[in-house]
Structure 1
Amino acid sequence: MNRIFPLILIVLCSCIKKTEPKEESIVNEPAPVQQVENVPAEDTASVPFSQSVKGNGFTYTLKGLKSPDGEISFKSISIFNKNKLHQKIIVDTISVLNEREVIFNIDNDANFDGYNDIELINWAGNYASSSSFWLYNQKSRKYDHYKPLDTIQNIGFDRKRKEITSSYHVGPVNTYSKTYQWEKDKLLMMSAHIIEEGDEIHMYRKNGKMVVE
C-alpha cells in the first residue's frame, strides 16, 4: 500500500497541463485620414474682348480675352466681306496690359502701294511701342504678315518720301533715329543716328551697303 500511493501521485502530476499565458495580438490600425475641404478657387475667368473697324470694303474684327486685371490677350483678326468671312488671322501670342494700349487700325499704307494695311500693336513700353503689320496682297486679295516691321519702334510713315521713320530713346541719354525704304518689296534701313552713353554714330546706305561714321 505504501508503494502504490507514490505512483498514483506521480501519475496525477503528469496529467496536470500547464497553461501558458496567451500573448495578446497587436493590430496596427491605420491613422485616421484628415479630411480636407476643397476650397473653391476665386473666379478669375476672363471675358471676351472685341473691337471692329471698317474700310477698304471689309470689316475687320479683333477678338481676344480680357482678364479681371485688365490685361488683354489677342486671339484673332477676322476679315469679313459683306458679312461673309474672307480671311482669319491667328494672333494668339500678343497681349497688352489694358485697353488704352490697344492699337488696331487700317489707316496706314505701310509699303506705299496704294492699299492700306492692318496694324496691331505687339509691344508697349514706357516711351515706345511697336506693331505687327499685315500687308494687302493685290493678287490674293488677302493680307500677309510682314515680320521685319514687328520690331520698328514708334513707327511713322512719310507718304511723300515713301519712307518709314523710327525715333525713340532708352533711358535719359540713349536716343535712336532711323529711316527705312522699300526696294523690290523688301524693307531696308537707309540711315540711323544713334547716341549711346555719349558716343554718337551716323549710319547711311551707299551703293547697297551701310556706311558707319
Structure 2
Amino acid sequence: MKFSIAIMLLLLIFSCSQKDQNSTSKKDSTIMAIDSVAVNIDSSKIENFKHEEVEYEEPKDGFYSKDYLEKHFKAKVYYQRKNGEVSYYKIVIFKNKKQIQTFKIAPEAPFYTEDYINLTFEDANFDGKIDFLITKFVGMNFDEKYLYLYNDRIFIKKKNFDKIISPTVDTKNKQIVSEYHVGPTEYHREIYEWKKGKLIQIYSQVEGEDY
C-alpha cells in the first residue's frame, strides 16, 4: 500500500513538473514573439523614416514677402528671388491694418537667404512710442541696424544710427549697447544714451587689441 502511495506521489510530482516546464516554455515563446514583433515594428518605422526623408529643394524664383507684427503695427518686407539670389526692394508699414508708409530699399548685391534682413518693433529711444529697427547681417561677428523713430504720424530714419556696430536696446538701463569682435581676440563694447534727441557715447572698452 505504501509502495502504491509512493508511486502515485511520484507521478503527481512529475506531472506538475511537466506543467511548469510547459508553462515556462509558453511564456518564453510568448516573450520571444513579443520581442520579435517589437523589432519588426521598430525596423518598419526606421524604413518609413528613411522613405519620408525629403531632399532640400531650392525655393522657386518669384516675388515674396514677410510679415513682422506688433500689437498695432505690421511691416511687410518685399523681396525677389532669382537664380538662387535674394534682393529686397520695399517695406510697407501698416498701423491698425491701415497702410501709413512705404520705404524703398536701395539695390544692393544680392544675397542667398531670406534671413539677411530682420525687422523688430521696440521703443528704441525710450519715449513710450514704438519704433522699428532693420537689421542687416553682414558678417559672423557684427551686423548693421537702421533705426526708424515714430513721431505719432510716421516713422523717420535716425541718421548715423547705422554707424553703431551691432547695437542692442537695453530697456532696463535706457541705453543702446554695442558689442562686437574684430578678429578672434579683440572685443569692443560701447554704450550710448539719448540726450536731447541725440545718441551720445558715454562708455568705450576694448579688450585684446594688443594680443
Q: Name the TM-score class by shorter chain.
A: 0.5 to 0.7
Are 1:103 and 2:118 counterparts? Answer: yes
Change (3 A) 1:61 1:166: same
Of the candidates 137, 143, 153, which is equivalent to residue 165 of structure 2? 153
TM-score by length of 2: 0.64
Decide whether the 8 Å contact of 1:173 with 1:198 is kept in 2: no
- Give % identity: 27
Q: Flag the 1:56–1:134 CA change in 2: closer, same or farther, 3 A.
A: farther
Unpaired runs of at least 5, structure 1:
1-44, 200-213
Which digits, 9 at most, give the CA deviation of each residue in 1:76-132, with x for residues without a partner? 1112245442111112245644123331121x2111111221221234201211211
Q: CA separation in 2, counterparts of 1:86 and 1:156?
A: 26
- 1:183 corresponds, among 170, 195, 203, to 195
**Distance in 2, Cα, partners of 1:81 & 1:162:** 25
Q: Which of the numbers 73, 96, 102 marks the counterpart of 1:58?
A: 73
Distance 1:157 1:59, change over 3 A: closer
The amino acid that maps onto 1:178 is: E
Bigger strand fraction: 1
2:163 partner SS: coil
**Conserved? CA contact 1:96–1:123, under 8 Å:** no
Evaluate the alpha carbon distance shift between residue 98 and residue 193 of structure 1 in structure 2; reply closer, same or farther with a 3 A threshold.
Answer: same
Give the count of matched residue pairs. 151
Look at both structures and tell me which one has the larger radius of gyration over its CA atoms: 1
TM-score (norm 1): 0.63
Aligned amino acid, residue 124 of structure 2: A
**Aligned mates of 1:145, 1:79 — CA distance in 2:** 13
Three-state SS of the structure 1 residue aligned to 2:100 is: strand
- Structure 2: which 5+ residue stretches go unaligned? 1-59
User: 68, 83, 101: which is aligned to 1:68?
Assistant: 83
1:56 CA drift (Å): 4.5
Query: Per residue, is there more helix in 1 or in 2?
Result: 2
Measured in 1, the distance between the counterparts of 2:96 and 2:185 equals: 51
